[in-house]
Amino acid sequence: MGVGNKRTLTKTRRKTRDVDQVISDLRSHKHLKQYKDTKAPEDLPGLGKNYCVACARWFDTPFTLATHERGKPHKRRLKQLRDESKATSKSEQSNVLESDKPETAQDSTDGGVEMVL
């Protein structure tokens, strides 16, 4: 089986961060900072102020960032991250949500007829 499409062999598109890297970014700010420190702010669009963590992308203005967050690629990415983190946390079994206990509200409104004389 040969590779029919030559473009898949010689991909020149800019590589973004992998999903597992982004998950680590979302979990610890230190991890994210380490990555950001590898880039010089003056080389980044908008001096690196408008960053989408999920997509690992920088934007020129807060407006373009906001527009991006409403867009399809971003939402697709969020879904991908959610699925991936679900899969990893299942194997880790670290933070299981046990806090939401259903509160047993005991209504003491007895339907008895009370006659106050």
Tell me whether residue 61 or residue 92 sits nearer to Zn ion (CB atom).
Answer: 61
Q: For 20, how many CA atoms within 13 A lie in the half-sphere containing its CB?
A: 3
| Interface stretch with Zn ion, choices 8-16, 17-25, 37-45, 68-76 (CB under 5 A) | 68-76
DSSP 91-113: HH--------PPP----------
Cα distance from N-terminal residue to C-terminal residue, the chain: 95
Tell me whether residue 26 or residue 88 sits nearer to Zn ion (CB atom).
Answer: 26
| Interface stretch with Zn ion, choices 35-43, 50-58, 89-97, 108-116 (CB under 5 A) | 50-58
Does residue 74 belong to the site contacting Zn ion (CB under 5 A)?
yes
Tell me whether residue 31 or residue 52 sits nearer to Zn ion (CB atom).
Answer: 52
Contact 16, 43 (CB under 8 A): no
Instruction: Name the 3-class secondary structure at 31.
Output: helix
Does residue 31 belong to the site contacting Zn ion (CB under 5 A)?
no
| Interface stretch with Zn ion, choices 16-24, 41-49, 70-78, 103-111 (CB under 5 A) | 70-78
Tell me whether residue 44 or residue 52 sits nearer to Zn ion (CB atom).
Answer: 52
- Distance (Å, whole) CA 81 – CA 74: 10
